[in-house]
A and B are shown apart, each in its own frame.
Chain A
Amino acid sequence: MSRHPQLSPLLWIPLLIFIFLCAKAAAEEPLLDWSISGQNSVRYEYYSVQGDPAGGTYSETGNQYYDELDVQFSRRLSQYESVQGYLAGLYNASAYRSRYTGISMESMNFTWEKGDGNLPFRASFGDIFSFTSLRTLQRSLKGFHVDLQPRFDRSGRSHSMVFFSGAGKDVYRDLDLDEELYTGGSWLIKDQALGSYTINLVQNHRTGNTETNMPSRDQIVTSIAGEKRFNLLEQKLTFEGEIGYFRGDHDSTGTSQLNKTDPAYFAQLKGRSESPLDYRFRFEHYGRDYRPNGATITPDRRSLEAHGSWRFAKGLTLRGRLQQFLDGMESDNTTRTKVAGLNLNGPILNEKIAGLTTSLDAFLQDADNQDRTTDNKTRSVNLNLGLPLGQWAGNLTIVNRNVQDRTNQGITTRTSETRLRASHAVSLLGFMGSATPGLVARRIRGNNSDSDEFGISLAVNLAMNNHSCNLEYSLLNQDRRISGTANDINQNMVLSYAYERGPHRFGLEADYQGSDPEPGNEARSYRFGIFYSFRFSKPAGTRFAQAFSPLSGGVEEAEPASGLLSAPALGLPLNKVIENLARRGILGGLVKPNVVVYDTRILDEIDQRQRLALLYESGKVTGTALIVEFEDVGSPRTAAQTFEVVRRAVLERLGPPSRVYEKGEFTANFAVEVNNGRFVRNMEWDTEKGVARFGIPRRLDRQVRMELQFRENFPPRSQSLWSIEEVR
């Protein structure tokens, strides 16, 4: 860890400007038109390892602390012109938080965008993220970035010309532009009919090092890439390709390689149609010396891949893949890897076991090289099953892995593992949450690593108002069966508590890891942490002092909740629910006797018409419903696909159902069969205030549509007339 308490005078400048602006703002309010928000966080941690230091979790012990300040600012100058930016500074005395101690400017950015001039542009200075393509450059830089979008014609063709230059460093401290400097440009053309095309050029310079005898290195990578969407034989196809060329120096092989050239090729065809089949074919080729410093790809490799997926009528998806990779393809000892894989995901066997969901992943891999120093075959199966069992949500994972080394050593390693977890709602001293106990059993054989392992775990998450706390504990006993190996008992415990009120957040954290090998020395590692953070926000048009008043809005973690379509709305006063809807922008409900109907989109990923219905009696909500129309009930394929899309959206929000009842298949007579009771789709979830039911109910007016309803109770399942008849 570098110990440089000084900050370069150059890097004080943005900080001093900010402090000056704050002081000036407080006195004169010249920042009235600016939006300013920020957060200051201070964290203290204490790390300790007792017993054998080599067996401890932490390499750095003792007191570690830091304070960081993030500030964002923006101003809209006109409809087509705006400026915005941010500053992130750090005072650090923690070996974990940063390599540097003292004050550092970690990141900053200033962006000016102007679209109403002759040449629309977006110019950024400071931290920029440069992405031209996966095969040329994708990384954060510290420098500048200009995007020019000239309008050469009015034909609907768009142009974007990007120029950038920046250093590949993560902090401004000791910034040496020559150490790793990227400079480049990219011209992107997007045409409504012809597709999108781009030409990229990236130059990279790295300075030499006399101590390591490394010379100065320069490289240039150029590429041309394009994407075109088209229809052929009822297939919706997307073709994408890129050709790249590398010229220059690299040292990725450990020694410097100068004046090298090599190409890269990439092509991919993706397709889908009205059928449930999606597919893609992919080809990649990267020469041994195609090694752009900022690219994501693996050099010296050729790969061929075919992927396909099939969506079954009841929400189950089957994916398959065939892949071949040639690594070190330009060497004398190419490694060839062939993979065949299958993945099955979604509800399964629900006719027999209601609510059962599966995730099965299996693959076969065969890898060998020419001198037979590598020749192994891997078989892997990973099965995950989820099932509601009364008040419990159970989860079973079974893993089986077999790695057969077919070189002269002829060793086979077999691993099997079973995990069982189940979650249950808990309530304790006013806190609500869940508890999840679990078990794991593992058996490993072969390669001198025979071991029987057994573990237990418990996770508890609780929350009440502004308080939240979590506990996680696990114990793993590793019983090694080979002479000379060590048995081990590992324990892990994490405790955390957080309190949040307005702009303030306070928390405590404690970790413990214990290891007791036999033979060997015991090691115990501890971490204790305490943090406090404070947020401030000044919207444009308000005084700076108001930034420190309690925040009225904010963000919170998104939960896969059912939102408005939830049981908690049941029993609430109707006017209160209508007010809540209005606050969320859902207005214009049509009030009828016993029902209020809104034409609004609730499931945002569904394009079909949706209506929200509030059922009420005596001024209180007795039920909520989402009604989704079919586009075309005459086409069984379209109807089945529409139903599956909606059902998947519902399952994502409500989780595995408690009960499922299905009869009949989507046919050309599907609408008739719904009305004569030969076709049934019905799923139910038990909730804290009642029942949620999703399906295609029979209606007196013979209209066919999907409904998701929350009510205290429903008519028996045999009674198929459960639709809201008032909403036609």
Chain B
Amino acid sequence: MADAGAQEFRQMRPIAAPGVQEKAPAPEGAKEVPRIRLLDRKAVEKAMQMLVDSWNTQGMANHLLETFYDKSRLMDVLEGKIPRDARLRLLAVRSFRILNQYLKPASDGDLLISSVSVTARTQVEWNHPVQGFQRYPGEQVYILRITQKVIP
């Protein structure tokens, strides 16, 4: 996932300085967080579970940003080559850390948008007609954008 814009190289993250008007790259109307807010592990686990549950379904496209590299190719490979009964299991969320955060005003309070780097252990599972149950565990790094409602 690239940063806030669709650009495929890094964007300016302006440092607050006298006379500098430029804002960090973020959607229009977004505002900076006064300080990075702690992200609950359960929220990260829930976001990861949502992504993992959508694996090998068309719904996974909804969870990938338009800027996700080779998105359509990934979806085509899943659709064309993976057994239909294959599923991805989330074995554990390992470490995670916040890459950046910003607030987005919404109708009923601010939304806290956090980009998070998550290391997770997952396992692909399916039943081979001859060889029986198959499991392929692995560890990957995911970059998630998690949206939460800020309680006043």
Contact = CB atoms under 8 A, between A and B. Distances in A.
B38 A535 contact: yes
Interface in A686-703: none
A94 B92 CA distance: 10
B64 to A, nearest CB: 13
Nearest to A359: B58
A57 B129 contact: no
Contact of B76 (A339, A601, A603): A339
B127 A41 contact: no
A523 B15 CA distance: 57
A107 B97 contact: yes
A602 B91 CA distance: 40
B138 interface: no
Contacts of B127: 478, 486, 488, 490, 515, 517
A523 B133 contact: yes
B29 A384 contact: no
A261 interface: no
Q: How many residues of A sit at the interface, in one of the four size bands?
A: 35 or more
Interface in B1-39: 2-3, 6-18, 20, 22, 29, 34-38
Interface in B122-152: 123, 125, 127, 129-130, 132-133, 135, 137, 141, 147-152
B36 A86 contact: yes
Nearest to A450: B129
A134 B8 contact: yes
A162 B13 CA distance: 11
A186 B108 CA distance: 40
A583 B34 CA distance: 19
A563 B148 contact: no
Given A127-B97, A298-B70, A604-B104, A133 B43 contact: no
A341 B108 CA distance: 39
Contacts of B152: 553, 583-584
Interface residues of B, number: 75
B40 A171 contact: no
Contacts of B6: 270
Contact of B85 (A56, A70, A171, A453): A453
A200 interface: yes
B73 A59 contact: no
Contacts, number: 256
A57 B89 contact: yes
Contact of A115 (B10, B20, B58, B135): B20
Nearest to A284: B70
Given A200-B9, A298-B70, A359-B58, A54 B105 contact: no
A577 to B, nearest CB: 12
A193 to B, nearest CB: 15
Nearest to B8: A134
Given A74-B36, A107-B97, A505-B42, A59 B135 contact: yes
A120 B125 CA distance: 51
Interface in A269-321: 270, 296-298, 321
A537 interface: yes
A637 B42 CA distance: 46
Contact of A132 (B10, B13, B117, B147): B10
B51 interface: no
Contacts of A601: 105
A80 B107 contact: no
A183 B91 CA distance: 33
Interface stretch (A31-39, A207-215, A716-724): A31-39
Contacts of B14: 149, 158
24 contacts: A35-B35, A37-B38, A74-B36, A76-B35, A84-B35, A88-B95, A114-B15, A120-B20, A132-B10, A147-B15, A158-B14, A160-B12, A170-B119, A225-B9, A380-B79, A382-B58, A485-B129, A488-B132, A555-B148, A555-B151, A557-B149, A558-B106, A563-B106, A583-B152
Interface of B: 2-3, 6-18, 20, 22, 29, 34-38, 40-43, 46, 58, 61, 69-70, 72-73, 75-76, 79-80, 84-85, 89, 91-92, 94-95, 97-99, 104-109, 111-112, 117, 119, 121, 123, 125, 127, 129-130, 132-133, 135, 137, 141, 147-152
The 7 closest A-B pairs by CB, nearest first: A115-B17, A563-B108, A563-B107, A133-B9, A485-B129, A96-B92, A555-B148
Interface of A: 35, 37-39, 41, 54-57, 59, 68, 70, 72, 74, 76, 79-80, 84, 86, 88, 90, 94, 96-98, 106-107, 109, 113-116, 120-122, 127, 129, 131-135, 139-140, 147, 149, 151, 158, 160, 162, 170-171, 186, 188, 190, 196, 198, 200, 225, 227, 240, 242, 266, 268, 270, 296-298, 321, 323, 325, 339, 341, 359, 361, 363, 365, 378, 380, 382, 384, 397, 399, 401, 403, 415, 417, 442, 444, 448-449, 451, 453, 476, 478, 480, 482, 484-486, 488, 490, 498, 505, 507, 515, 517, 520, 523, 533, 535, 537, 540, 553-559, 561-565, 583-585, 601-604
